[in-house]
Amino acid sequence: MNLKRKKPETTKLNLITILDAVFIFIFFLLMSAQFVEIYKIESEVPQVADMEQKNKDIPLNLILEISKNKILVKSGPNENVYKSLKYSNNKQFHDGLNKIMINLKSNNIEEDVVILRPEKNVAYKEIVKIIDYISQTSTKELVSGKNKQGKVIKTSSLFNKIVFETVI
Partner 1 sequence: MKRKFSNFRDKKSKDMEIDITSLLDILVILLVFLLKSYSASDYRPDIKNNLKMATSRLSKITTSAVTIQVGKDHKVWVEGKLIGKISRGGNVPHQIVKALEANKNVSKDEKIRKQKNREINFIFDKDLSYAVISKVMNTASEQGKRNFNFIVTSK
Report the distance separating Cα 102 and Cα 96, nearest Å.
10
- Candidates 1-9, 14-22, 57-65, 71-79 — which segment interacts with partner 1 by CB under 8 A? 14-22
What's the CA gap between 66 and 85, in Å, rounded?
A: 10
Report helix, strand or coil for 118.
strand
Tell me whether residue 73 is exposed, middle or buried, using C-beta atoms within 10 angstroms of its C-beta: 0 to 12, 13 to 18, 19 or more: buried
Q: Which stretch binds partner 1 (CB under 8 A): 35-43, 48-56, 80-88, 104-112?
A: 35-43
| Site membership for partner 1, residue 127 (CB under 8 A) | yes
User: What is the Cα–Cα distance from 165 to 168, expressed in whole angstroms?
Assistant: 7
Residue 35 interacts with partner 1 (CB under 8 A)? yes
Residue closer to partner 1, measured from CB, 106 or 157 = 157
- Which residues make up the interface to partner 1 (CB under 8 A)? 15, 19, 22-23, 25-26, 29-30, 32-45, 47, 118-125, 127-129, 131-132, 135-136, 138, 164, 166-168
